[in-house]
Amino acid sequence: MLSVSSRFMLENVNLKRKLSADDYAAALPRLQRRLYDLEKACWDNKISSIIVFEGWDASGKGTSIATLTQRLDPRGFKLHSIAPPRAFEMSRPWLWRFWLRVPTSGEMAIFDQSWYSRVLFERVEGMVAEKDWRAAYADIVDFERTLADDGTVIVKLFLHISRKEQEKRFKAIEANPLEAWRVTKQDWARHRKYPDYLAAAEDMLDRTEEAHASWTIVEATSRRWARTKILKTVISALELRLGPLVPAHETPEEAAAADAESDSASVAEMLDDGGETWTAAD
């Protein structure tokens, strides 16, 4: 478990970490190919996994998920983008809609936001009573422990940016006539509550950190750094779970051949660090 002093961990995270374009271009294809191999190995060995993406508005969750899944076999994973519960879902136990989305045997389930909305968004915005979001911590821990006991790999990622960086990204989006609609009054209202969300996030990290479902803080100021760290984190977790069943790494000759086959559009995307639009939905 995280120590009491870690309640301030987000404020102490080094958000200046970055990766050069050359290092990113060299690392990304190999990481994506490795993840593909692990996806297939997990499918063949009936090992399911859950990848949870949480973090700030405009921290890059959506674009990071796109990079994570870019080279995966779409038959082996499902992406769930979680919105506020609908009326009929609110009449059920609150975790019911997430139980419906747990992965089948061998499948990877990726959550763009998740059950943690109850102790973040719903808590800060006053959408649930205090007794309900406090009780949700025990529900979450039990939920994840049940899945882990059944053999599911759980990777939880929190994409972290500063308040100043979030403001910068919102303004950049608003300055683009084709993207300005993505930043709403509600986004700015949440931005003004950054300290409240920070406190809720730190509380969440403290209360839901478990050996079988640990959190990884992703320094997301640099998109290249963030994407690389996310891929490495997921790869490490799957390799650990596969154990002796883990597939061998590619040989230098195989890596060179695969690099030679990389399409130009993918290379352009990897090297372009200035053209990405950060959306409020991220």
DSSP states of 104-139 as a string?
-TT-EEEEES-GGGGGTHHHHTT-S-HHHHHHHHHH
pLDDT at residue 208 in the model: 97
Classify 267 as helix, strand or coil: helix
- Say how far apart CA 79 and CA 273 lie, in whole Å: 25
Count of other CB atoms within 10 angstroms of residue 271: 14
pLDDT at residue 268 in the model: 46
List of residues 6+ apart from 213 with CB closer than 8 A: 144, 145, 148, 154, 156
Instruction: Give the pLDDT confidence of 18-39 residue by residue, as tens digits.
Output: 999 999 999 999 999 999 999 9
pLDDT at residue 257 in the model: 66
Classify 157 as helix, strand or coil: strand
**Beta bridge pairs of residue 216:** 157
pLDDT at residue 65 in the model: 98
Residue with tokens 């839901």: 208
Q: Which two tokens stand for residue 260?
A: 């030679």
pLDDT at residue 279 in the model: 44
Task: Please list, residue by residue across 18-30, b when 16 or more beta carbons sit within 10 angstroms of its beta carbon and e when fewer do.
Answer: ebeeeebbebbbe
User: CA angle, corner 61, sides to 236 and 190, nearest 5?
Assistant: 135
**Beta bridge pairs of residue 218:** 159
Instruction: Give the pLDDT confidence of 225-258 residue by residue, as tens digits.
Output: 999 999 999 999 999 999 999 999 877 666 666 6
In the chain, what are the domain boundaries?
A: 4-250
pLDDT at residue 262 in the model: 55
pLDDT at residue 258 in the model: 63
pLDDT at residue 260 in the model: 61
Low-confidence ranges of the chain (pLDDT < 50): 1-6, 8, 264-265, 268, 270-281
pTM, entire model: 0.89
pLDDT at residue 281 in the model: 43
Q: Report, at the CATH architecture level, how domain 4-250 is classified.
A: 3-Layer(aba) Sandwich (3.40)
